[in-house]
Amino acid sequence: MAHRHVINTQIAILGAGPAGLMLSHLLAKAGIESTVLELRSHQEIAETARAGILEHGSVKLLVDSGVSDRVVRNGDRHDGIELRFNGESHRIDFQDLVGESVWLYPQTDVFLDLAGRRQADGGDVRYSVTDTTVHDLEGEAKVWFTDADGVDFELRADFVAGADGSRSYCRSLIPEAQRKRYFHEYPFAWFGVLAEAPRSSEELIYANSDHGFALISQRTETVQRMYFQCDPDEDVNNWSDERIWETFRSRVNGNGFELKEGPVLDKTVLKFRSSVHTPMRHGKLFLAGDAAHTVPPTGAKGLNLALNDVKVLFEGLDSFYQTGSTALLDTYSSRALDRVWKAQQFSYWMTSMLHTPAEADDFQRARQLGELNAVVSSHHGRAYLAEAYTGWPGAR
């Protein structure tokens, strides 16, 4: 076999999405070395459209750890959202209810900030690697990989962090008998649209209607991000601009409110699923982010959960290197999962409360409107939503 160049590090991180890069950044600040391996190219990650809402705790982590203050300079602070049903909007005032806000700042920008910071700090991040395999997790952990130039390496590390996304290879390294998979599929998907148009509303609109759900989000002064509930098998090629706008109009317009329309720049179908894989730790391997759990997009919890995992994992690793104690590493899985299940519940609840199943009968539809009414007409109902949406106090 060809010779492998040996690299010694403390933490081998698989995946250079927000979870892997944030972990590497926090470790570097604490004087702990890491190498990050990523199968995709920098460009491919930067061009993937993802959700756009950051909890206040996520913003604090990005700013306080010195990744970038671009999120507060260029991002938009949102102090509330609108829930729209029966043709009427009901504002959920986050500041008034729980004294917190969220920031609209796309995940792509979070990635660019993190990748830029790691590069500026001399971090070892290798994109476009191939043939990544992990060995000897029970002994001296090693990761074999081939870099973008075709050179073979052996990365030796104290621990391995699997931040390698929803189709995680690292997850499969945990013996099947020792892991459990929780899974839920939903009978809908989102049709995501990027449109060249001015903003239609100051805040995000989550709209429930007889025709299904729609979400009006934003990107810039001239480009808007919007979604409508569709069938999981929907084909974007069957959707002309006019058909797309007609769908939004029927779900959102009314009572004096009209969406601002314009050319559609991009359209994609997003599949819905909830999954949790436990435990998130096996010996020297720790899973973080989508590698361990995915949520449906309603409420935009995915990235926020990934950042929370990484913060909890960093605390465990830092404590180990400072004191030799594995106490915080030993409780990593249960501490991270605490927030994961809260977010699963919130994402499931927002999804089921706002979407209309194709087969819903009159009772189910009327019950759903009763639920929406119960939430918006109660201080406690609105506060429950506001606390979950802006991010529970706790681990972070």
d(CA 301, CA 344): 9
The region of 67-75, 234-242, 282-290, 294-302 touching ligand DHB under the rule CB under 6 A is: 294-302
Q: Does 297 bind ligand DHB (CB under 6 A)?
A: yes
Minimum gap (Å) between residue 336 Cβ and ligand DHB = 21
Q: By CB neighbour count within 10 A (0-12 exposed, 13-18 middle, 19+ buried), where does 98 fall?
A: buried
The region of 11-19, 47-55, 171-179, 255-263 touching ligand DHB under the rule CB under 6 A is: 47-55
- Please, are residues 160 and 259 in contact by the beta-carbon 8 Å criterion? no
| 390 closest CA partner among 348, 346, 355 | 346
> Closer CB to ligand DHB, residue 225 or residue 251?
225
Is 124 in a helix, a strand, or coil? strand
Minimum gap (Å) between residue 321 Cβ and ligand DHB = 36
> Closer CB to ligand DHB, residue 126 or residue 199?
199
The region of 45-53, 86-94, 130-138, 361-369 touching ligand DHB under the rule CB under 6 A is: 45-53
The dihedrals phi and psi of 353, each to the nearest 5 degrees, come to -75, -30
Q: Does 102 bind ligand DHB (CB under 6 A)?
A: no
Q: Does 391 bind ligand DHB (CB under 6 A)?
A: no
- Please, are residues 270 and 193 in contact by the beta-carbon 8 Å criterion? no
What would the x/- binding string for ligand DHB be over residues 48 to 87, using CB under 6 A? ---xxx----------------------------------
> Closer CB to ligand DHB, residue 52 or residue 391?
52
Catalytic residues: 78, 206, 297, 301, 389
H or E, element range at 289? none
- Please, are residues 121 and 111 in contact by the beta-carbon 8 Å criterion? no
Q: Does 355 bind ligand DHB (CB under 6 A)?
A: no
Minimum gap (Å) between residue 136 Cβ and ligand DHB = 40
H or E, element range at 272? strand 264-278
> Closer CB to ligand DHB, residue 25 or residue 225?
225
> Closer CB to ligand DHB, residue 7 or residue 189?
189
> Closer CB to ligand DHB, residue 67 or residue 388?
388
Q: Does 225 bind ligand DHB (CB under 6 A)?
A: yes
- Tell which positions 299-328 bind ligand DHB, by CB under 6 A: 299-300
What residue has token string 């969406």?
A: 259
- Please, are residues 226 and 219 in contact by the beta-carbon 8 Å criterion? no
Return the structure tokens found at 154: 């052996």
DSSP string of 224-241, one letter each residue: EEEEEEE-TT--GGG--H
Site residue total, ligand DHB (CB under 6 A): 11
- Tell which positions 156-215 bind ligand DHB, by CB under 6 A: 204, 215
Minimum gap (Å) between residue 204 Cβ and ligand DHB = 6
d(CA 157, CA 151): 19
| 308 closest CA partner among 102, 87, 15, 22 | 22
HEC profile for 98-162?
HCCCEEECCHHHHHHHHHHHHHHCCCEEECCCEEEEEECCCCCCEEEEECCCCCEEEEECCEEEE
What residue has token string 């043939």?
A: 131
Return the structure tokens found at 126: 């290798």
> Closer CB to ligand DHB, residue 104 or residue 317?
104
Chain residues binding ligand DHB by CB under 6 A are 51-53, 204, 215, 217, 225, 297-300
